[in-house]
Structure 1
């Protein structure tokens, strides 16, 4: 697939594109929480729990790492601008949102495309703060951006806009949201995530759910 470019961006946009690309080399090593295949016309929710993982929400090492993910495929209003609004409560007493600021949540936005139709590649990645862009290419074009975000431990509200130029067949956006677990304990435990998602394709709100299980300490691998 050949992506057409808009007019060359100004020099500060080019510098921003280079600056944001540097941390991606490290972030790209982390596991994406959205595991399902993108060949669907629905937003997909998923979760990952890693009790003794290295690399969690931007840190080099973390225990009891719980992350939630959403995948937005290009099959939703393909080749058009798409705006996605997410409203999601935490589960006080079990887990809360890891807010790095009132307008930033721990986690990443990652955009994948399929330029030749024979597999996907990561086009760009950014953090999840207000106005964070997915810059790519030599001109610093943007695949998408955080249009609005409000984060408290109890509630996350985020609006993300994806540019029509990158929404070709096989492409998708992965959003990964970080949390802080509350007294996870040593036993097995099940966590759930039930965001309300609205897209500009039909402006209809849908509630979707993902669950993930924390294994008991010293449990045998499954």
Structure 2
């Protein structure tokens, strides 16, 4: 099944290379074109080169492209995966935590909820709305997956602005159970069935039973 998959924010070594690794393992997506997009051309070129080398070494049937032009990347896309940040992530995150603390507001994390989450939202939601606006204009049938935080605030705002957008917000929290549960329960993950619920960074393992 040949698809056009666009990774926005692909210059990030963690997101770009990590997502390529996941896509390379997908049997249904074999033969697809993966388009890497980032506003940092040097980081983008680095991820493209590593991805192409890996695909060639392992004889993987994927075509990799890269562009700093978002409209060029999105044209005809079937899937769009977003993971971006604005500015110096860790410096701004530190400010999101310490500024409220000066006024007696102690936060657990300061990235997704509380005043820190609000500051973060005000920075990151405008560019994500621009991205989603481009999707609606250039590839309105595409499925959009957002990995950026604050997840619930971003997804709520985007769906209010673009109710017809095929948007899903994803977090790796529950997926990490595959690493932790085998150690806790002393059995392979394949033998465990789980039920989870909640919101991003506020999720719960509701049930874990033997298959």
Q: Which category describes the TM-score, using the shorter chain as reference length?
A: under 0.3
TM-score (norm 2): 0.28
TM-score using structure 1 length: 0.27
Structure with higher strand content: 1
Of structures 1 and 2, the one scoring higher in RCO (CA 8 A, sep 6+) is 1
